Amino acid sequence: MQEELDAHAVAAAAVGALQAEALLTPKPGLVDRLGSGGHADMDLAMLLRSAQSLHGTFVDLALVSSEGLPPQELRNRVGVLGRIGEATMLEATGGVNTHRGALWTVGLLVVAAATERSEAGVVGAAARLAAIPDSAGAPPPSSHGQRVVRRYGVGGAVGEAVAGFPHLTQVALPAMRGARAAGESEDRARLRALLALIATLDDTCVLHRGGARGLRRMQRAARSTTRARDFDGDLRRFAARADAARLSPGGSADLLAAAVFLDDLARSREPASAPQELLHADV
């Protein structure tokens, strides 16, 4: 029963992270409270519905992790559950791909979070699982992401996971936590994490729509906005330009959701503070 309760808690955190990413506003090229960004086929209500549709899949991913399966069998089961989750998502969205990348990234972390308690343990276990080939075979080479990976020689979501999620651990989480420690609001901290990702990630979604030139434009704009004295105004202008150019950093959005998931999980698992009398005890 405790394993099932933990699985539901982890799944709820995963859904919450996807929805938090969708609601964060303003975001360059991405769906948010202000509109559809660079997307003509989706809106905020669809993204929230899509995230909620994945709750059952995240529960199943967390539960299968606790069965003690050999690594290859676990990887195969995760692949099956991921494909079921993708079909559920597409049914909820009328065939629109809203969270395929996030299902891969956050799904791996969900599997690991069900058995690992430290953040480093979660990331390491997810990376090891990602490195095991699915016995069902690789995803179709005709997908946008696969074509971009081949054309530009970038790692994509799979490469990021196998490498140990460097943009998650070395870029997004430090940016988010640093901004929070500096007294910035939670939304501002998450926006800074998103900009840090856009500035450094070889985002396959941007490469698909804008090529190498579009990627460089987005990265330069993200760096400039991060340094801007008028952060909010510069971010609004960046968002308007990205929306108009239809340059959508979907890979960065997926990693932001993963960062929110890990950050929320870490804070929920923090040990209770020491009793007040111990804090003031003489030593």
Q: Where are the domains of the chain?
A: 2-270
d(CA 103, CA 18): 9
Tokens linked to 257: 């959701």
Section 266-283 average pLDDT: 56
What are the start-end ranges of the H helices in 37-182? 44-53, 55-65, 71-93, 100-113, 119-130, 144-152, 156-162, 166-167, 173-181
The pLDDT value recorded for residue 273 is 43
Residue with tokens 């500096």: 182
Section 75-102 average pLDDT: 97
The pLDDT value recorded for residue 136 is 85
**pLDDT tier, 51 (very low <50, low <70, confident <90, very high otherwise):** very high
Of 237 and 275, more confident? 237
Of 146 and 132, more confident? 132
Tokens linked to 208: 């698909």
The overall pTM is greater than 0.85:
yes
Question: Whole-number mean pLDDT of the chain?
Answer: 92
The pLDDT value recorded for residue 237 is 98
Residue 142 pLDDT exceeds 60: no
Q: Is 281 exposed, middle or buried (0-12, 13-18, 19+ CB in 10 A)?
A: exposed
The pLDDT value recorded for residue 278 is 39
Beta carbons within 8 Å of 237's beta carbon, 6+ residues apart? none
30 close to 250: Cβ distance less than 8 angstroms: yes
Lowest average pLDDT, out of 129-143, 149-163, 250-264, goes to 129-143
The percent of residues above 70 in pLDDT, for the chain, comes to 92
Residue 234 is inside which H or E element, if any? helix 231-245
d(CA 67, CA 64): 5
- For 192-251, the pLDDT digits (tens) are 999 999 999 999 999 999 999 999 999 999 999 999 999 999 999 999 999 999 999 999
Residue 283 pLDDT exceeds 60: no
DSSP one-letter string for 169-229: IIIIHHHHHHHHHTT--HHHHHHHHHHHHHHH---HHHHHHHHHHHHHHHHHHHHHHHH-S
**pLDDT tier, 4 (very low <50, low <70, confident <90, very high otherwise):** low
Q: Give CATH superfamily name and number for 2-270.
A: Triphosphoribosyl-dephospho-CoA protein (1.10.4200.10)
DSSP 8-state class, residue 116: -
Q: Is 57 exposed, middle or buried (0-12, 13-18, 19+ CB in 10 A)?
A: buried
d(CA 192, CA 187): 9
Compute CA distances 276 → 137, 267, 281, whole Å. Answer: 56, 20, 9
**pLDDT tier, 5 (very low <50, low <70, confident <90, very high otherwise):** low
Beta carbons within 8 Å of 81's beta carbon, 6+ residues apart? 57, 60, 61, 64, 107
